[in-house]
Chain A
């Protein structure tokens, strides 16, 4: 019958000109969303609890499918150059594909960590995985958006799912608190972002990044006030998502309250989405106005570096420490953004990829040490961990040292590349601040390592480790930790493949040919 209707469509009525949908260009997003819907339906019909964690397995498979969908696109971009689809609303370039892979990896690791967590807390169900996949789809949409409205859609899809994920632990009051805080502040920042979009539209006459870039390159605005105000508001929106300093106040509370495996995703996947949007909008689109926004990003980067490092040192809760250290890392990535050069973008991408493994792994260990109730995150809970579980302590130490930037780990090279980009962009003071903040934050990482290995962090004579039960490391979490450690050390030893890939992945705005 429908075919009959379709056949009739030709005569009598003038067909509306509909945009062509390049399904292949959207395939990574489609795989993520399709996987989420399948998981939602199957998960609702099947029993919520099962011996094998097939929810997590399916999620990892979907993440793998996303990466598989990226491969042919990457080849095509490599051969024919970047292109855009869906009436130039979505761009397919090396940049978006690189970030897509980073986000997919973050989803896979977080899903593996979530499985054991949900079993331990008695919260089994498909919902966390579904939300994680949808959030990842939003982040991918942000990374590949060629239109500010599409980017806003991506931002919201990403954020709303994560607000819910933050409140995943129904019986923990802190989890609900984190969700409400994140939701209220996040909605504010989304509103700022949207207002920024409106102002930029008012100044340039388009929300399409390609057209904005062309307009700004071809015209000189008599009155720049509107455009600059739009920059500022967009920067607030992005700054909130990546937890840069004047907009960071939610980070410690939300990271502390949210379920630890979810934080692993927040700190890796969501941050990657935010930075991808930031790089795409500011470096690629507003590049001609870099003299106007660079000083502001410079300031935000300095503040993030200093505040993140200094406040992390005075914390006694490991999750809060890692939250502040993630602010410090955001400062480092902002250095790459501030440089606004190809080297800067490459360095930021390398940093994001390396940081994803480090931070997801670190929160993976935190998940395990948190034990039932997800409440054991004080520094004291780590005392003597090396004696009780040397392997777990060693893994955590590797992640922490990598975050501190110790050579032979990915963290060292990540920090090295952004500082190098800053120096090439002649931002010497910023590079200096970055290195000093790295030293300050090294104190924090070493403090945790010391507590784990020495067992007496604050001069306690008794052995609090005695009588504590052995921590159970679920098999899935063990796989995630092994992968993260292998990547952290592997990238540190053989950085070339990732560096070369990141170098190919600069954002390029191309109008659709159709």
Chain B
């Protein structure tokens, strides 16, 4: 187990360093708080209003697109640097990878990840399904399935 001693030492050192800097800043730093300093996201500008708590779910899709391209760049950039050395093998590998990434992008676009503005066409709901559910609100949809009385049976 001797060869694992450095790992243990590193662990101890990390904890000691974190604890030390935490307490040292408490002890050494002068404390002159102002309203601007103790505000969240302190960056010199006093916030004029509370940050909004809800934001469109669409941002998640934007984040997904970002991740798709981020991952693509992570792989493409090193490849671009040494594509000569990698030769045909690298080209084929990158082609496979880019096709997979592109498929994900096509899927996102097709599902309306970049459709901004008001919703143009509401998804039509099967009229047989249930009269209590409408396309305009999702409130009634959540958690009802599986607990419904035996009324809305589809044939």
Q: What is A's interface to B at a CB cutoff of 8 Å?
A: 2, 5-6, 8-9, 12-16, 18, 21, 37, 40-41, 44-45, 120-122, 169, 171-174, 202, 223, 225-226, 371-375, 468-469, 472
The A-contacting residues of B in range 84-113, CB under 8 angstroms, are: 84-91, 99-100, 103-104, 106-107, 109-111
Tell whether, in the assembled complex, residue A171 and residue B141 are in contact, meaning their CB atoms are under 8 Å apart.
yes
- Give Cα A41–Cα B99 distance, bound, in whole angstroms: 11
The 9 nearest A-B residue pairs measured at CB: A375-B146, A44-B110, A18-B89, A373-B145, A173-B143, A373-B146, A44-B107, A16-B85, A13-B84
Known pairs A13-B85, A225-B1; A6 contacts B91 (CB<8 A): yes
B142 contacts partner chain A, Cβ-Cβ < 8 Å: yes
Q: Of A8, A121, A472, which one neighbours B84 at CB under 8 angstroms?
A: A8
- Give Cα A472–Cα B155 distance, bound, in whole angstroms: 6
Q: Of B4, B84, B129, B153, which one neighbours A469 at CB under 8 angstroms?
A: B153
**Chain A residues near B143 (CB, 8 Å)?**
171-173
- Give Cα A172–Cα B148 distance, bound, in whole angstroms: 11
**Chain A residues near B148 (CB, 8 Å)?**
372-373, 375
- Give Cα A1–Cα B83 distance, bound, in whole angstroms: 14
Q: Closest residue of chain B to A19, judged by CB? A: B89
**Chain B residues near A468 (CB, 8 Å)?**
150
A478: min CB distance to chain B, Å? 16
- Give Cα A40–Cα B108 distance, bound, in whole angstroms: 10
**Chain B residues near A372 (CB, 8 Å)?**
145, 148, 152-154
- Give Cα A371–Cα B151 distance, bound, in whole angstroms: 12
Q: Closest residue of chain B to A125, judged by CB? A: B111
Tell whether, in the assembled complex, residue A9 and residue B87 are in contact, meaning their CB atoms are under 8 Å apart.
yes
Tell whether, in the assembled complex, residue B144 and residue A9 are in contact, meaning their CB atoms are under 8 Å apart.
no
A472: min CB distance to chain B, Å? 6
Q: Closest residue of chain B to A375, judged by CB? A: B146
A129: min CB distance to chain B, Å? 13
**Chain A residues near B111 (CB, 8 Å)?**
44
Tell whether, in the assembled complex, residue A122 and residue B146 are in contact, meaning their CB atoms are under 8 Å apart.
no
Tell whether, in the assembled complex, residue A122 and residue B86 are in contact, meaning their CB atoms are under 8 Å apart.
no
**Chain B residues near A14 (CB, 8 Å)?**
85
Tell whether, in the assembled complex, residue B86 and residue A18 are in contact, meaning their CB atoms are under 8 Å apart.
yes
B130: min CB distance to chain A, Å? 9
- Give Cα A132–Cα B3 distance, bound, in whole angstroms: 43
**Chain A residues near B142 (CB, 8 Å)?**
171, 173
- Interface size of B as a range: 35 or more
CB<8 Å pairs between A and B, sample of 10 = A6-B87, A15-B87, A16-B82, A16-B85, A16-B86, A44-B109, A122-B126, A172-B146, A226-B1, A373-B146
B94: min CB distance to chain A, Å? 11
**Chain B residues near A44 (CB, 8 Å)?**
106-107, 109-111
Q: Of A9, A41, A171, A472, which one neighbours B145 at CB under 8 angstroms?
A: A171
A41: min CB distance to chain B, Å? 5
Q: What is B's interface to A at a CB cutoff of 8 Å?
A: 1, 4, 82-91, 99-100, 103-104, 106-107, 109-111, 125-126, 129, 141-148, 150, 152-155
A473: min CB distance to chain B, Å? 12
- Give Cα A468–Cα B145 distance, bound, in whole angstroms: 18
* Other A-B pairs, 15, CB within 8 Å; known A16-B87, A37-B99: A9-B84, A9-B87, A12-B84, A15-B85, A18-B90, A21-B89, A40-B107, A122-B125, A122-B126, A172-B145, A173-B142, A174-B146, A372-B148, A373-B147, A472-B155
- Give Cα A23–Cα B82 distance, bound, in whole angstroms: 24
Q: Closest residue of chain A to B88, judged by CB? A: A6
Tell whether, in the assembled complex, residue B145 and residue A169 are in contact, meaning their CB atoms are under 8 Å apart.
yes
**Chain B residues near A374 (CB, 8 Å)?**
145-146
B143: min CB distance to chain A, Å? 4
Q: Of A18, A21, A41, A121, which one neighbours B87 at CB under 8 angstroms?
A: A18
B153: min CB distance to chain A, Å? 5
**Chain B residues near A16 (CB, 8 Å)?**
82, 85-87
B135: min CB distance to chain A, Å? 12
- Give Cα A348–Cα B59 distance, bound, in whole angstroms: 48
* B107, B146, B147: most-surrounded residue (chain A CB, <10 A): B146
Q: Closest residue of chain B to A467, judged by CB? A: B150
**Chain A residues near B125 (CB, 8 Å)?**
122
B115: min CB distance to chain A, Å? 14
Known pairs A44-B107, A173-B143, A469-B153; A9 contacts B85 (CB<8 A): yes
* B107, B145, B150: most-surrounded residue (chain A CB, <10 A): B145
- Give Cα A40–Cα B106 distance, bound, in whole angstroms: 9
**Chain A residues near B129 (CB, 8 Å)?**
122
B81: min CB distance to chain A, Å? 12
**Chain B residues near A472 (CB, 8 Å)?**
154-155
Q: Closest residue of chain A to B150, judged by CB? A: A468
B106: min CB distance to chain A, Å? 5
**Chain A residues near B84 (CB, 8 Å)?**
5, 8-9, 12-13
**Chain B residues near A171 (CB, 8 Å)?**
141-145
**Chain B residues near A122 (CB, 8 Å)?**
125-126, 129
- Give Cα A120–Cα B103 distance, bound, in whole angstroms: 28
**Chain B residues near A37 (CB, 8 Å)?**
99-100, 103
A142: min CB distance to chain B, Å? 20
Tell whether, in the assembled complex, residue B146 and residue A223 are in contact, meaning their CB atoms are under 8 Å apart.
no
- Give Cα A5–Cα B143 distance, bound, in whole angstroms: 58
Known pairs A37-B100, A41-B106, A44-B110; A375 contacts B85 (CB<8 A): no
- Give Cα A371–Cα B150 distance, bound, in whole angstroms: 10
A381: min CB distance to chain B, Å? 10
- Give Cα A213–Cα B6 distance, bound, in whole angstroms: 28
Tell whether, in the assembled complex, residue A5 and residue B155 are in contact, meaning their CB atoms are under 8 Å apart.
no
